Amino acid sequence: MARDSYLNTRLTDSDQALVRDAAHRQGLKPSEFCRLALLTAARRPEPILQTLVEQVEALRVILLNIILHLTTNGQAITVKSLTTICAVADAHKVEQARRLFDRATQLTPEDK
């Protein structure tokens, strides 16, 4: 796909130096670095969607762990075990939601 459109912006000298240095560290030209940064930011999920995915992920982990607990151990779920399961789900929901979004919004080869 041809890249025919342009975006222009003005930077201070210090901002331009920051962009140039960041691009250099990643082995990119400043224009490539800016393009990837813009596409990444544009694909970032809305905060409400991020929160909803985090909560769904936490519920999924809780449900799977309760089922695993009941079927593997044959034990009833206690307040203590449920509290532990919920705490683990909450501790990992943000990271897992981020992974899901990253996978869903990966840059395609033509974007790079």
> Is there a domain that residue 3 lies in?
no
Nearest 5°: the CA angle 19, 105, 18 is: 5
> Is there a domain that residue 18 lies in?
yes
The DSSP 8-state label assigned to residue 7 in this structure reads -
Domain that holds residue 36: 10-43
Residues 63 and 24 both lie in one domain: no
Residues 59 and 107 both lie in one domain: yes
- The pLDDT tens digits for 8-29 are 889 999 999 999 999 999 999 9
Q: Is the pTM of this model over 0.95?
A: no
pLDDT at 61 over 60: yes
Residues 79 and 96 both lie in one domain: yes
Say how many C-beta atoms besides its own lie within 10 A of residue 14's C-beta: 8
Residues 108 and 53 both lie in one domain: yes
Count of structural domains within the chain: 2
> Is there a domain that residue 1 lies in?
no
Backbone angles phi, psi at 77, to 5 degrees: -80, 125
